[in-house]
Structure 1
């Protein structure tokens, strides 16, 4: 629910409650009730219907969520039902008690004794006022009789004395025209002169005087007075007569009490007439109040349950996202309660997981790059590499290993004892006697009908996640051995040719010198013999030289077989061979170098010669 809808909702509830309170407060005032009560009932009924629609809508939505097995719907329903039940039981109990109390309270208002007491009070106050009116009328008639016996020039003194004798506050003598001829007013009297009308004078002549109670229906602060008007000459006509008026003020407390009795009796009579209506009004008001309160409580329970479960739903959604690999923080709600703190802690955990995942991803990428680099290195070196566990199961193998071991083929997961039993047995023997965690050996790999392959094998111990493994590297040194043999034969041939050629030159020179020195000193026959002997020696020496040269040429290298070769890899293989023999060689290689077209065997022989020298 939007914020403005919630504000409007609570505003409607507050307005409904206020109007109900106003209706209850106006229940005793029948006029105001008759004017506003239908509108108040209509407004409160409308408010109740709006609340009912809101509650039904929220309940139906919660029911659909429960039917669809939405996460958190059951917890929300249980929490809302619990809170609504807590509000429902007190509301119903209060409603039942209040309904009984209203009925009995209204019945207690209408007691016969109270009505009789009000009637007696009104009768008593009426009797007192009536007696006071009769008394003042009697005094006025006696005063008028006394004045009629006096000459009119003595009325000023006579009216003053008569007012004091008959305890009147105001005494006035009026002419038939209505003007005052004589007057007497007590010092503390509340002066208010009421001019009699002609009708009052006529009525006074007919009745020999009359008395009036004035101010009976005025406001409580206005005084109540008793006024009498009597003719001084009862037997004269109106035109020849004068009229005496006595006025007395009723005591204020008595007047207020009398008015209160009259008003209270009037209100009591009105309440008596609307007794059934009052009960209906209060019961309707109470019912609407109960419905408003109960529906508001249910709506608040649904809203509160949804508000309380919203952080849990956020955590559930966030947990599913994290389980699916989506490490996006969830929406944090306002407030500092425990649920919001839990949401913040969850977001902090998600951020830490995201950082850890990024770090793990970086490490994985670095590991992948390292593995790719290692695979690239292993695939480009000429030495075969096997990674074996303690049972000689193959964990890793490079391309060169299968090239060297061909036609046998080793794949990860194979057992070397099955693929190459002789090689596996030789490795087991070396592993058993290895003291320093490494070993090396020469091994002849039989490849019938092809020539045997000479291998130089090196092994090192390796820890594999709590287990023991071995890294085995081996080179095909058959070509190297052939090159060493060729080099040794070349050396023998060179030395032999050198040793043979060394005496041939002096022999030839000696023969030529003998021929030159003795040719002119001998006879022709001997000279011819010497010439043939020296020629034979020279020819044989030349033949011997040619034979030595042919032998030397036979020991020379064959024509090169050119192929594209990585010089750095070739040098590394040579250095590795010497390192296995305990010879440490320092190197500085330019990396990378382009491949060159050479005879790898001859270049390897050159390197062996250089390193050997």
Structure 2
């Protein structure tokens, strides 16, 4: 290859001689002699000889194989080819300076060299074949040996498996039946008819065990279904009763509670089971800690400023589980108390009212007849008679309140305008106490109530009267009050009408606030304690309620009278809570 590359370079330098074929052939001969090649040819791509330089002893011309041109055209090096008779080696090389031309050279070899090389290759091939045959024979021998060993091993294993199968098969059946049993198949049985004696005894014991378990499972399922049915029945009963029920385990933790108990105790936590009773209701916890087998007692439970009277019964309580049942008897106690007070009021009114008229007439007669005869003590005489007449009048008004409370009639329901009733009560209060401002939040919803208008007006007037007296007392104590002294509003939402009245008075006491609605309970020195009791009775007779609280827009008390609508609102939407002057227009006095 180095020679061919060098010759190609030399031939590129004498390209101009190519037109003179004789000189070019001589140059080829000289180049061939210089490099030791007796024959040098210039060929085209078709294998035709374009020029040649041959010595007399040059071997005959043999055309290169066509594949050599294709290999050189692809840019690869064409391999040299060897020929015999005479032995020579021939090579083809491209001449890019001559276009589609190739350099083809021939070099003679020693006589018989190719034949000797071929003979040596055949010997080597025969030796290799012998080596390969030897390896094959050894592999065949090894495979035969391995096959024999495997056959012996398989036979031994087969014999061992046959011997062990008689023992392991019953055990396998027993294991399979045990797995089926663990998966819940209580009908699993083991067939031990052809098993050894010991395995047959074990299988029979297993079959008896599964039969007993199956029988017990059927009994347990029946008991479970019965228990679930009973539990659902008890839960249904507990959810439907109005009494509160709480179950406690032996450690005093809540194990069951119904919805009524949650409502009565104002429990908002959804998950109270597992908690100590003291965390749910300290009042009930004190009773349960007595450890008595049976307890029945009335207790007061206060939640969010509201006090309820509960009648509690406890069963158990001697180191085991307990069941607490309790009913809300607040209204019952209130009704009984009101009935008793009405009876007392009726008797008082009857016993006191009869002598009042003679006393008043006697005092007036004494003043008319003897005033001129008293002389210089006329001032004392007038003061004494006026005191008698005034006190008799006060007692008369008190007796009238007693009579009114004792003879409250049943309401007569008619359609009344709630907004007009509020405006009428506010107007009456402004006339009664002109020095105390009464404000109405506008706009007032035009709402129709199905109620006894006279009784609702009486309730509104009583509340406004109490508010005015509270503001007057607050002013009399030297405190400064804001304007207005009384703020009123009508709120309609959720199917209810709410008359909200706030004042700038002394406010309501925190302690025993719920008792202010009981008869003859009052915080004023000259009050009879019947005003709120009458208002509460009117609200309850109409299916509503009376709420007492602290004012939000003023500094005193807040009283809310709630009445069911029984008819839809005609016009305005719900009013939002707010302070006077925030987003509502005051009605001008």
Q: Same fold (TM over 0.5)?
A: no
- Greater strand content: 2
Higher fraction of helix: 1
Select the structure of larger CA radius of gyration.
Answer: 1
- TM-score w.r.t. the length of structure 1 is 0.32
